[in-house]
Amino acid sequence: MKLSILTLLAVFAMNAEAGLADPVPFEADYSVSRNGKALGDMRSRLSRAGDTSLVYRSVTEGRNGLAGLLGVRIEEESHLGVDGSGLHSSAYRYRQEMVARKRERALKIEADGRVHESDNDRKWEYTASGGAFDRHSVVLAIALRLREGVGDGVVFDVPVADKGAVEPWRFLVAGRERIDIGEGDIDTIRIERVRKDSERKTVSWHAPDMDFMPVKVEQVEPDGEVLTSVLQRYERR
């Protein structure tokens, strides 16, 4: 695993003078599996798009099993801004392609808080007061919150614009764990998504030495299937 600097922030470093999030570009590769069997890979990249703008892009491709046979490809791209109120999303696009099926989502948050959202043919118009994140960039919000410092047992919310409303996604800092991601053990902070009335379970492990980007994400579906992503490469750009 390649690290340019040990004290890197995959997403942001706090600017002491301005009090703003200072983006640090990076690239990361993850392996993706279902129930322990390899499915494919995900490539992520955070890059600058100006002095106060970021682009966070991820591409997931099926390589094995049914995902490979169907040619599954998922592209997600988040555009974010940094201003006096902190980090927030300004636009998001999702595109999923496979044999005989396509799905597209789009989100745009205007400067005055008006939100335009679509999911294939469904459309919503609503307001996000105080800024919000899209579902793809939530991982960046978590990393920033952890960098600010939170103790074990703390619960925090991230405002997310999704499916016609801005709702708080709640997370629990479940504690410190040392886990093996294939190249030896690494110290992490375990984060659990707190959901109401849902059997889905999402857990992520964030490494302080990598400035709190996740090195492993596990999602257990209601039917018992387990989807897992594990970091294979991280490089500060």
For domain 12-236, the CATH class is mainly beta
Whether residue 146 contacts residue 196, with contact meaning beta carbons closer than 8 Å, is answered with no
pLDDT value of position 117: 98
- Asked whether the predicted pLDDT for residue 12 surpasses 60, the reply is no
pLDDT value of position 97: 96
- Convert the pLDDT of each residue in 89-136 to its tens digit: 999 999 999 998 999 999 999 999 999 999 999 999 999 988 999 999
What's the pLDDT band for 22 if we cut at 50, 70, 90? Answer: low
- Convert the pLDDT of each residue in 46-69 to its tens digit: 999 888 899 999 999 999 998 998
What's the pLDDT band for 17 if we cut at 50, 70, 90? Answer: very low
Residue-wise DSSP of 55-92: EEEEEEEE-SHHHHHTT-EEEEEEEEEEETTEEEEEEE
Sequence ranges of the domains in the chain: 12-236
pLDDT value of position 85: 77
Burial zone of 40 (CB within 10 Å; 0-12 exposed, 13-18 middle, 19+ buried): buried
Rounded to the nearest integer, the mean pLDDT of the chain is 88
The residues that bridge with 175 in the sheet, in sequence order, are 190
- Convert the pLDDT of each residue in 189-214 to its tens digit: 999 999 988 899 999 999 998 878 99
Q: Span 13-22, mean pLDDT? A: 36
SS3 label, residue 43: strand
- Higher-scoring residue by pLDDT: 9, 230: 230
